[in-house]
């Protein structure tokens, strides 16, 4: 049973969005090709879904600016621009993504006191989203992960998939993903590899 996890392919992370990832929109046609390839039995997508005034927003911390390090619930927290606020266009999946073919779309980041990069659980590793149980319940043996952003939500989703679903083979599809900074991308890929996540491209995903 093969599954594809599309992480946060939302307007907010594409050019024109509130937290644009360079070339973020370039993943959309690749994600659509993966969706249409017929290689996956199950396709799931995550959506960053913050309440207005979320604690990861610099605007919630007087004197803080986006991309500075701050503190949230006593822990170091990157201060982000306001992004992916529930119910806004910024939070919607990219309009060209073939969302009708997605079996499950799950929202994360709703608790204003903790950020949630991973589609599986929050950054405190406290509250789970239920995605691991869902995928295991469906009998998933292989999970391919891609989307936005490589250095944050894709990275932590792939690492949690490995840790929370022992025995499931996890691969990261590099060309179907984009990240915020070059250093962050390099570090994320290194860390995923180190943990045993295979790094592939979409051509391999569609042929293998």
User: Peptide bond preceding 68: is omega within 30 degrees of 0, i.e. cis?
Assistant: no
The catalytic residues are: 8, 108, 153
Instruction: Say how many residues touch Zn ion, by CB under 5 A.
Output: 1
Residues that bind ligand VGL (CB under 6 A): 8, 13, 48, 80, 117, 148-149, 152-153
By a kind-dependent CB cut-off of 5 to 8 A, residue 149 interacts, out of ligand VGL, Zn ion, none, with ligand VGL
Q: How far is the CB of 48 from ligand VGL (least distance, A)?
A: 5
Rounded CA separation 73/201 (Å) = 38
HSE-CB for 13 with a 13 A CA cutoff: 27
Q: How far is the CB of 2 from ligand VGL (least distance, A)?
A: 23
Cβ–Cβ < 8 Å for 167, 143: no
By a kind-dependent CB cut-off of 5 to 8 A, residue 8 interacts, out of Zn ion, ligand VGL, none, with ligand VGL
Exposure letters 110-134 (e unless 16+ CB within 10 A, then b)? bbbebbbbbbbbbbeeeeebebbeb
The 29-68 site mask, x for binding Zn ion (CB under 5 A), equals: -------------------x--------------------
Q: How far is the CB of 50 from Zn ion (least distance, A)?
A: 6
By a kind-dependent CB cut-off of 5 to 8 A, residue 172 interacts, out of Zn ion, ligand VGL, none, with none
Q: Compute the C-alpha angle 136/93/71, nearest 5°.
A: 80
Cβ proximity to Zn ion, 108 vs 171, nearer residue: 108
Cβ–Cβ < 8 Å for 131, 108: no
């Amino acid at each position: 049973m093969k599954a594809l996890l599309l992480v946060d392919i939302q307007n907010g992370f594409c050019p024109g969005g509130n937290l644009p990832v360079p070339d973020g929109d370039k993943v959309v046609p690749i994600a659509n090709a993966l969706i249409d390839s017929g290689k996956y039995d199950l396709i799931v997508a995550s959506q960053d879904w913050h309440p207005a005034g979320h604690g990861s927003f610099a605007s919630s911390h007087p004197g803080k600016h986006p991309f500075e390090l701050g503190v949230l619930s006593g822990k170091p927290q990157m201060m982000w621009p306001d992004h992916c606020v529930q119910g806004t266009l910024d939070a919607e999946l990219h309009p060209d993504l073939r969302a009708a073919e997605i079996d499950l779309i799950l929202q994360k980041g709703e608790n204003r006191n903790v950020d949630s990069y991973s589609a599986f659980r929050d950054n405190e590793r406290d509250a789970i989203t239920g995605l691991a149980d869902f995928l295991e319940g469906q009998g998933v043996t292989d999970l391919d992960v891609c989307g936005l952003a490589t250095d944050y939500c894709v990275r932590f989703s792939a690492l949690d998939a490995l840790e929370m679903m022992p025995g499931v083979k996890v691969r990261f599809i590099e060309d179907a993903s984009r990240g915020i900074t070059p250093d962050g991308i390099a570090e994320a890929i290194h860390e995923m590899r180190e943990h045993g996540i295979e790094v592939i491209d979409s051509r391999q995903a569609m042929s293998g």
